[in-house]
Structure 1
Amino acid sequence: MKRAKFKSLDAINKQVLKSRINIIMLVIFILFLVVIIRLGYLQIVLGDTYQEQVENAQYVEINQSVPRGEIYDRNGNLLVGNSSEQAIYFTRHRNMSNFEIMDVAKELSSYLTMDTDSLTLRDKQDYLINNYPNELKKIMPEQVTLLENGGISQDSFNEEAYEQVDEEFANSILSEEDLNTLAVYVTMVSASELNPVIVKSEDVTDEEFARINEDLDELTGISTGLDWQRDYPHGDTLRTILGEVSTNEEGLPRELVEYYQALGYSRNDRVGKSYLEFQYEDVLRGKKPQVKYTTDKSGKITGEETIQEGKAGDDLYLTIDIELQKELEKVAEHHLLSIRKLAEDIVQMDEGRGNIDYTIIPEYIDTVQLVVQDPNNGDILAMVGKQINEDGDIVDYDYGTLTATYVPGSSIKGATVATGYQQDVFEVGEVVIDEPLYISSDQPRASFFNTDSRVPVDDQRALMVSSNSYMFKVALGLLGLDYTQNMTLPTDIQQAGYDLRNGLNQFGLGISTGIDLPNEATGLSPQLDATDMLNLAIGQYDTYTALQLSQYMSTFANDGKRVQQHLAKEVRSSDANEKGAVIKSYGTNVLNTVDLTNTEIDQIQAGFYDVFNTHDQARDMYGTGWDAYHELEPKAAGKTGTAESFREGEAVLNQTYLGYAPYDNPDMAFSIIFPTLPGTVPFFPAQYMGQDVIKKYYEIYYGQDEESLYKYDASEFYQELDYGKY
């Protein structure tokens, strides 16, 4: 029997160790193989992709200030320009901490004097926490000790400090140098990496600019350049309509952050935030330069290369005629102040005589609005709004022409007549009896020119004398009714109410005009009953803007074509030396054509002509605008309106004057609103403003001689009030 062989313990251990080493070597080999395969995949398969990403990471569209496009009027007169100013910029390096930024701020603050008024209490509290622990220990010793011993966190300590440090304490500790440093820091700390922000641009002195330029190598991330500010050669003229641009400090306005960020803007971009600057932001904004940065391992910028130069925004040319605008502002101010003065004089005269049985409150005469446009293409030539404030000063209210709505009165009766034609209520030239209407459960209704008789009028004469009775009968016809004394009105007027409102809408009343501005009001259109419908037919129910009334009158002047109103005429490329090339033009856009025959249009136009120009001596009938307009050459046409309203419980009148000229070939249309005038008979003679508007237009566009503006005579007008003359 053979003896069994046994390995020694030492041999066994060696064999196990060898096996383990082999396994380890195999694992290492496999790992190396995986790494090699992975590196090969990254370099060969994805190499180009990663190289592109690396390159792209160095290309940054920086927030270097570039000028916005300029805004001009229709004749090339500058309305909004740019003025350049010296600016100090800061660019945050990659991985740059807030503490490092504070070090730069402390250094830069010795060169600059900053405005510190906008610093918040939180800014000051944070500065105290980081720089004045001993001073804080005096008012919160327990918390400082706990922080030093690790008993509370820094966040908890900060929250306690925010509670205990008030404005008075902060100001007692912080010196002017501290506040100046803090103001520099606050502007710098908001910067994103590799994206320059302006530290200071307003009132940078030549000395500050020169000193910083000399020491740029010592100021980390600091550079110098130019910034721009909007400049307004015509002062406050159209200032609101032109719009606002956000400041460097503001960046994207809070209420527009989401809107602009969705379009790819950065939070600190300067943007248009109202009216034309907002509406045409895509045109006016400049294109930022693209820069390729080179950084070292720490993220510090070591070099930069401009890949694409920045470009100023394109220029916007408006339909506005700034000469006409400024002249009509003078006209509006003259009439507003003169009518206010007329009211004051009448009140003073009546205190001695006591003959007038009307409530006249001069302070209510505080607003006038005017729109002038080309009726053929929708060009807005002038938008004028004026108000008298509580101090008695005239202030601009141009934006009221599209945001404020009023009950207009009889000026919209042309649309009522047109609706009557379309709904087969009356035919052209059909004679209707103007008479007081007695309707069950309603007050008697009559025309102002005829309060107690039966007078035959056709459509043309109804417009001339502003017959309420004719318009009431149009409304009754829409309800399928003929007038009978003491008749009862139906309760179901849904279809008839729709037909009447739709008839007004087709002329732009109660709907958007299409104006290229934000915040346009379309007016109030409350629910109708049958009585309300009668009021709507004479302009005593729904409310409209001056822009809507101008579009309405323009539609008749343009033979039934409702044209979109617009302020933009064209966009041109920016050129510092001359007009740039036209990039885009804004032409005529017909929104709808009113369904009327030529005969029907002509008949309403003839009625508008009579309003301004006809005195029927045989019947002793005057057009309601005859006094002010009949001497104009070339002749004009239009419609007047007076609506009853209330202000602070007192009865007042909204007066509207609409027209177009010349009558035979109109190239201007206008609307005037004088709200809350005294409720007197005769009305306060604001219609003379319309006369002066047309004269001023003829002077500028037709070369007619300049005429003085209408002067109101309190003595003459007092007699008319006393005797009730119309």
Structure 2
Amino acid sequence: MRRVKKKSSETIKYQLFKSRVSLVLVVVFLLCLLLILRLGYLQIIKGDSYQERVENAQYVEINQNVPRGQIYDRNGKLLVGNKSERAIFFTRHRNMSNQEIFNLAHELAKYITVDDQRLALRDKQDYVLNHYFDQVLRELSDEAQLLKDGAISNSDFYNESYNQLSEEFVDMLLTDKDLNVLSIYVRMIVASELNPVAVKSKGVTEEEFARVNQDLDQLDGITTGMDWTRDYKFGNTLRTIFGDVSSSEEGLPKELTEYYKSLGYSNNDRVGKSYLEFQYEDILRGTKEEVKYSTDRSGKILGQEVVRPGKPGNDLYITIDIELQKEVEKLAEHHLKSLRKLAVEAKKRNDQDNDLEWDIHPEYIDAVNIVVQDPHNGEILAMVGKRINEDGKIEDFDYGTFAVTYVPGSSVKMGTVVTGYQNDVLVPGEFLTDEPMVFQDGTEKASFFNRDSKVDVDDQEAIMVSSNVYMMKIALKLLGLEYEKNMPLPIDISENSFKLRNGLNQFGLGVSTGIDLPNEETGIAPPLTNNPGNYLDLAIGQYDTYSAMQLAQYISTVVNGGSRLQSHLAKEVREYDANDSGPIVKTFNANVLNTVQINNKELEQLHNGMFDVFNKHDQTTDRYGTGWDAFHNLEPKAAGKTGTAEAYREGNSVLNQTYLGYAPADSPDMAFSIIWPTMPMTIPFFPAQYLGKDLVEKYYELEYGQPKKKPYNYSLDEFYPRIKEGTY
């Protein structure tokens, strides 16, 4: 039997060592192989990509703001331009710390002064905590002791400081110099890397500009240049409608930041904030200059070059005739002040004589809205709103023409008549009996011109004399009912009441006009279910509310034969040209929103009725059109419709008075709407219709060269006896 030969312990140790060395060599070999493969991957496959990243770390493209496009009226008159201003800019280097920015702000404060309007309480608290910490410890002694004892952390102490340090306390500590440094700092700290922001772009003095320019090499990241601000050539005229643009210091407005960022904007971009500037931002914004910055490895800017010059935005031409707009504004102010004065005088005389049964509140005569429109294409020629503020001064209220709605009264009656035609409950020339209407539940309805008798009128005369009963009988027919004295009104009208409202909607009443401005109000349209009395009121314009813009679209639809055209302010877009009108980029043509089905005979009845409203005095019946007093002497003749709606203000009865019209009557090229809200409840109605007369005459003067006429002069001696007797 063979004996097994045993290895010595030294041999075993040696073999184990060799195995470990071999394993280490294999691992080292594999790691080297992996490193070689990785280097090959980076250099061969990814080399171009990483080279591009290196270059991008050295050269960065950014966008610079450029002037916005200008706004012109329909005749090429400049309304909103740009005015150059000196500005101080800051560009944040890569890897620039907040402390470095603060140090730069501290240095720049020696050169310029910036207002502190943008400073929030938190900004001031942060500054105080960093520079007046001992005073804070004394102010918050209890918390300071807890901090010293280790009972609260630094973070807890700072949070408590934000809660307790009042604005009065921090303002007491901060000097004017502190506030200036802080104001500069908060403008600079929001800058993203290599994107310039304006530190000061308004009110930069020549001295400030020169001193900064002189020491630019000592102010790392600071540059000087020219900025722009909007220049309104006609002052406050249409100022609200033009809208606002954010400043260089503001950048994207907080409330619109997410919206604009979703479109690819940067924080420091100047943008439209409201109305036309916001609506046509894409047209007016222009193409920004692209700049390439070269930086060293630390991120410090070494130089820059323009790779693509900026281009101002395109110019927007709007439909407004600025001369007409200005003249209508003057008329609105004249009549607003004159009617307020007339009411004051009437109230004063009545306080002395006590011979009027009407309550007159002069302070309620405080607003008027006017829209002038081309009825054939939807272009707005003028839009004027005026109101008297609490200080008794007249201020612009232009947005009220589309953003505020009122119950309009009888001016909607052409829509009611057409709805009757369309639903085969009325034919052109059909006579209905105007009579006081009495229903089983005690509801009573009557026309103003005929309070207690029976009068047969057709659709033309019903419009002329503004017959309430005629319209209400149409409304009953739409429900499948014929009027009988003491008849019951249906309990549930929901099934058929929509016919009437839809009939008014097709003219633009109660729906969007499509006006190219944000925040249009379409009006209030309460439910029609178990309220038949309100349904009858709707037929005469006493229920739903509409704006002056909607009423202008409505009368235009009647004028042009049934095409409801989108109301719009944009006329065309032209490419920017510093020396002349640039080439047309886009034209805004008439856009038909819907077509009202109406034949020539029906249309003739409407037009004849509206002509009679302004021009007819029936000698046989001694009936007048409801607008005859003011409009019958116009040459060429005009046509239209008046309306009054009962309303309440502060618990007192008032009237909304509306006047719609078009001119010349035989070949109209303008249509208008006027709303006088909360006028005194008197008979006859307060004589506000003369604004419409003056408006047409002013249009004839500007468009046809007719002689200039003075606006209507109101006389209490003429009007007071009429309201005393209550005669129409």
Please give the TM-score of this superposition, normalised by the length of structure 1.
Answer: 0.96
Q: What is the aligned partner in structure 1 of residue 719 from structure 2?
A: 717
Quote the residue 2:450 is aligned against: 450
Deviation at 1:52, TM superposition (A): 4.1
Could you tell me whether the CA contact under 8 Å between 1:290 and 1:309 is conserved in 2?
A: yes
Alignment of 1:226-265 (within 5 A): 226-265=226-265
- Trace 1:127-526 onto structure 2 (pairs within 5 A): 127-140=127-140, 153-526=153-526
Q: Which residue of 2 aligns with 1:681?
A: 683
The code of the aligned residue for 1:87 comes to A
Determine the C-alpha separation between the residues in 1 that align with 2:371 and 2:723.
Answer: 30
Shift of 1:532: 1.4
| Equivalent residue for 1:667, pick from 666, 669, 677 | 669
Q: Is 1:554 aligned to residue 589 of structure 2? A: no
Give yes or no for contact 2:199–2:249 (8 Å, CA) kept in 1.
no
- Amino acid in structure 2 at the alignment position of 1:69: G
Is 1:622 the counterpart of 2:624? The answer is yes
Secondary structure of residue in 1 paired with 2:643: strand
Distance, in Å, in 2 between the alignment partners of 1:369 and 1:616 is 32
Contact 1:65–1:228 (Cα < 8 Å) also in 2: no
Amino acid at match of 2:645: A
User: Aligned Cα RMSD in Å?
Assistant: 2.1
Count of residue correspondences: 726
Is the CA contact 1:656–1:674 (under 8 Å) kept in the aligned structure 2? yes
Match of 1:588 in 2: 590
Describe the shift of the 1:721–1:92 C-alpha distance in structure 2 as closer, same or farther (beyond 3 A). Answer: same
1:591 Cα deviation from its structure 2 partner: 0.9
Q: Aligned letter for 1:547?
A: M
Counterpart of 1:579, as a letter, is S
Cα offsets for 1:136-174 (capped at 9, x unmatched): 444457866887998865433322333454334433433
Deviations 1:621-643 (A, max 9, x none): 11111111111111111000011
Alpha-carbon separation, structure 2, partners of 1:211 and 1:178: 21
2:65 is aligned to: 65
Cα distance between partner residues in 1 of 2:138 and 2:446: 83
Q: CA deviation at 1:679?
A: 0.8
Contact 2:188–2:197 (8 Å) recurs in 1: yes
> Do 2:521 and 2:547's aligned partners in 1 also have CA atoms closer than 8 Å?
yes
Runs of 5+ consecutive residues of structure 1 not aligned to the other structure: none
Q: Within 2, Cα distance between the matches of 1:251 and 1:678?
A: 48
CA distance in 1, matches of 2:568, 2:534: 33
8 A Cα contact 2:94 2:299, kept in partner = yes
Distance in 2 separating the partners of 1:294 and 1:153? 44
SS in 2 for 1:710: coil
**Within 2, Cα distance between the matches of 1:71 and 1:676?**
35
CA shift, 1:55, in A, is 4.6
CA distance in 1, matches of 2:395, 2:651: 26
Instruction: Report if aligned partners of 2:63, 2:291 keep a CA contact under 8 Å in 1.
Output: no
Contact (CA 8 Å) 1:58, 1:292: kept in 2 or not? no
The reply on whether 1:608 has 2:610 as its aligned counterpart is yes
Distance 2:221 2:142 in 1: 40
Separation in 1, partners of 2:694, 2:639: 14
Using the alignment, how far apart are the partners of 1:671 and 1:168 within structure 2? 52
Question: In 2, are the aligned partners of 1:104 and 1:219 still within 8 Å (CA)?
Answer: yes
Residue 599 of structure 2: aligned partner: 597
Please say if residues 68 and 82 of structure 1, whose CA atoms lie closer than 8 Å, have aligned partners that are also in contact.
yes
Matched residues in 2 for 1:140 and 1:437: separation?
78
Q: 1:644 to 1:59 in 2, by over 3 A?
A: farther
2: CA distance, partners of 1:620 / 1:197:
74
1:413 maps to amino acid: K
Could you report, residue by residue, the CA deviation over 1:20-56 in whole angstroms, capped at 9, with x for unpaired residues? 2322222122122122222222333333344445555
Whether contact under 8 Å (2:60, 2:294) holds in the other structure is no
Deviation at 1:8, TM superposition (A): 5.5
Q: Equivalent residue of 2:485, what SS? A: coil
3-state secondary structure, aligned to 1:376: coil
2:572 & 2:182 partners in 1: Cα distance?
A: 46
**Equivalent position amino acid for 2:560 in 1:** N
For residues 549 and 61 of structure 1, do their structure 2 counterparts lie closer, same or farther at Cα, with a shift above 3 Å needed? farther
Q: Separation in 2 of the partners of 1:532 and 1:545? A: 20
Alignment partner, residue 571 of structure 2: 569
Letter in 2 for 1:310: G
Answer yes or no: is the 8 Å Cα contact 1:86–1:209 preserved in 2.
yes
Q: Which amino acid aligns with 2:603?
A: I
Structure 1 149/27 Cα, relative in aligned 2: closer, same or farther at 3 Å?
A: farther
Counterpart for residue 656 of structure 1? 658
CA distance in 2, matches of 1:571, 1:658: 31
Distance 1:568 1:165 in 2: 51
How far apart are the structure 2 equivalents of 1:725 and 1:514?
A: 42
Residue-by-residue CA offset, 1:313-338 (whole Å, 9 max, x unaligned): 21111101111000000001111111
Q: Give the Å deviation of 1:63.
A: 5.2
Whole-Å separation in 2 of the counterparts to 1:721 and 1:170: 64
> In 2, distance between residues paired with 1:325 and 1:584?
24
CA spacing shift, 1:480–1:144, aligned 2, 3 Å: closer
Q: Deviations over 1:404-441 (max 9, x none)?
A: 11111111100111111111111111111111111111
Structure 2 equivalent of residue 533 of structure 1: 535
Correspondences of 1:94-109 after superposition (within 5 Å): 94-109=94-109
- Of stretches 257-266 and 156-165 in structure 1, the one that deviates more from structure 2 is 156-165
- Provide the secondary structure at the position in 1 that maps to 2:496: helix
Q: CA deviation at 1:255?
A: 2.2
Task: State the TM-score, normalized to the length of structure 2.
Answer: 0.96
Mapped partners of 1:644, 1:188: distance in 2 = 58
What runs of 5+ residues in structure 2 fail to find an aligned partner? none
